[in-house]
Structure 1
Amino acid sequence: MRLRSRTIGARETFHPFKRLPTELRCMIWRFSIQPRVVKVLEKETLGEDINTLTNGVPNDPSVDDADRLSLRYKRQVYWEAVRSGERLEDDETSEAENNLLVRYFSFANTMLPPALYACHESRDALLPLYPYCFASETHPAGVRFNLAVDTLYVDIGLEENFVNFMASFGPMELSKLRNFAIADDLGYGNEDEFWQRVGSFVDKLTDLKNVLLRDVANCLDAIFQEMRLQSNPYMLLSPVQVVEKLSLNRKVQLVYKMMEDCCNVISYNCIELREKFPHELLRQLGFTEEELPLPSPYGDQAWRDQEWVTENATAVWGWRHVPYPDALL
Structure 2
Amino acid sequence: MPSFHPFPKLPLELRLAIWEMTVEPREVEVRIVKPTPEDPLEVQWSHPSQWHYIDSRRCNEAMSDVPTSTRAERKARRKAEQDWPRYRPYVHMVSSTIPGVLHSCREARNHGLYQQISLDVDKKHEDHRYVWLNLEIDLINIGTSFLNYFIPIASFLKRLKLRRANTDEWWSEYEKDLLPSFKNVENIYVVCVDGFWGWGDDDVFNYEWPCPYENLVFIDEHSPMGYLEVGHLDVDRICQKIADGEPFAHDKDF
TM-score by length of 2: 0.56
Q: Is the 8 A contact 1:44 1:71 kept in 2?
A: no
Equivalent residue letter for 1:68: A
Indicate conservation of the 8 Å contact 1:195/1:306, yes or no: no
Instruction: Select which of 114, 122, 135 maps to 1:130.
Output: 114
Q: Which amino acid aligns with 1:150?
A: D
Aligned to 2:186: 209
Partner of 1:114: 100
Structure 1's unaligned 5+ residue stretches are 1-10, 50-59, 76-100, 219-251, 255-297, 320-329
| Conserved 8 A contact 2:166-2:194 | no
Q: Which residue of 2 aligns with 1:247?
A: none
CA offset digits 1:18-76 (Å, max 9, x no partner): 332012101210121111111111235898x9xxxxxxxxxx9575434433467x75x
Structure ID, larger Rg: 1
Residue 159 (structure 2) pairs with residue 179 (structure 1): yes
CA contact (8 A) 2:147 2:178 kept: no
RMSD: 4.0
The offset of 1:150, in angstroms, is: 0.8
Query: 1:195 aligns to what?
Result: 172
Tell me the residue number matched to 1:299: 200
Q: Which of these residues, 34, 38, 53, is aligned with residue 28 of structure 2? A: 38
Rounded Cα–Cα distance in structure 1 between residues aligned with 2:197 and 2:122: 37
> Per-residue CA shift, 1:187-224, capped at 9, x if unaligned?
47621x52354443321223221111235996xxxxxx
AA of the residue aligned to 1:211:
I
Give the superposition deviation at 1:317. Answer: 6.0
Identity of aligned residues (%): 21
* Deviation at residue 151 of structure 1 after TM alignment: 1.1
SS at structure 2 position matched to 1:201: helix
Output aligned runs, 1:149-164, within 5 Å. 149-156=137-144, 158=145, 162-164=146-148
CA distance in structure 1 between the partners assigned to 2:194 and 2:34 by the alignment: 34
- Per the TM alignment, residue 124 of structure 1 is displaced from its structure 2 partner at its CA by 2.7
CA apart distance, 1:179: 0.6
8 A contact 2:33–2:91 mirrored in 1: yes
Aligned to 1:235: none
Are 1:27 and 2:11 counterparts? Answer: no
1:104 counterpart residue number:
90
8 Å Cα contact 1:151-1:180 kept in structure 2 = yes
Query: Do the aligned partners of residues 149 and 307 (structure 1) sit closer, same or farther apart at CA in structure 2, a change above 3 Å counting?
Result: same
In 2: Cα distance, 1:216 partner to 1:104 partner: 25
